[in-house]
Structure 1
């Protein structure tokens, strides 16, 4: 009975692990496939301006450097966002590898529980029960 309960728990955890991995994979593929559409928004939103109360305290050279740095960062982000849809196939392989590692760990846990239950049952059986020695 304990064997059945332990393997039922392991099978239920495996089903939850599979569902979780599938959901994360689906969300990641959706996000990566939509990332190319976001690249147009990234280039238009990269204007750096300091608040009015901070402008007198910041040297104009530093403001120009920050603006140049932000524009370079914007170009880098735009390039990465345009390259993202091509990475969707790699996400599928990664999801399968992660799922397989988790499933293997769950199966090893089930085998460990099985061995632990077997050890516990052997330990709890009295040793004189199986042997009938008559002493005169």
Structure 2
């Protein structure tokens, strides 16, 4: 039972790790796509501040303040944003590498837990029963 519980927990952690990596990858790709739109010029400045579904939840004054702030630091931001889309290919490789390292670590921990359970069970089975006398 302990083996099944440890493997179930390990596979659950792996699923959570995979979901977290996928979510961060999707967020990064979305941000890079937005950076490319922002590098397009002043007309595209408000295009990628946040997804369309979020506009109902964000006050218009906050939108105006953020657009004014972006306009004030425009030249520096635009120079940085022009280089971001070139890095988009590396994001996929980096996401897979990070996911793979985390998955290997979780697999190693699962195997370690399996071995630990086996060692503890073998120690427990080697102990004499209470009340039993040792033969000399």
The TM-score normalised by the length of structure 2 is 0.68
- 1:95 alignment counterpart: 95
Q: CA RMSD in A?
A: 2.5
- 1:28 alignment counterpart: 28
Over 3 Å off, 4+ runs: 126-129
- 1:67 alignment counterpart: none
- 2:71 alignment counterpart: 45
**Unaligned ranges ≥5, structure 2:** 46-69, 130-134
Displacement of 1:127 in angstroms is: 4.5
Moved more, 115-124 or 80-89: 80-89
Describe the SS at the equivalent of 1:104.
Answer: helix
Describe the SS at the equivalent of 1:45.
Answer: helix
Displacement of 1:76 in angstroms is: 3.5
Q: For 2:26 and 2:112, locate their aligned partners in 1 and report how far apart those are by CA, in whole Å.
A: 32
Q: For 1:126 and 1:111, locate their aligned partners in 2 and report how far apart those are by CA, in whole Å.
A: 23
Q: For 2:115 and 2:126, locate their aligned partners in 1 and report how far apart those are by CA, in whole Å.
A: 19
Residue 78 in structure 1 maps to residue 78 in structure 2: yes
Contact 1:34–1:85 at 8 Å: present in 2 too?
no
Contact 1:32–1:85 at 8 Å: present in 2 too?
yes
Q: Rg larger in 1 or in 2?
A: 1
**Unaligned ranges ≥5, structure 1:** 47-69, 130-134
Q: For 1:45 and 1:99, locate their aligned partners in 2 and report how far apart those are by CA, in whole Å.
A: 37
- 1:120 alignment counterpart: 120
The TM-score normalised by the length of structure 1 is 0.68
- 2:49 alignment counterpart: none
Paired positions, count? 106
Q: For 2:18 and 2:111, locate their aligned partners in 1 and report how far apart those are by CA, in whole Å.
A: 19
Contact 1:33–1:85 at 8 Å: present in 2 too?
yes
- 2:67 alignment counterpart: none
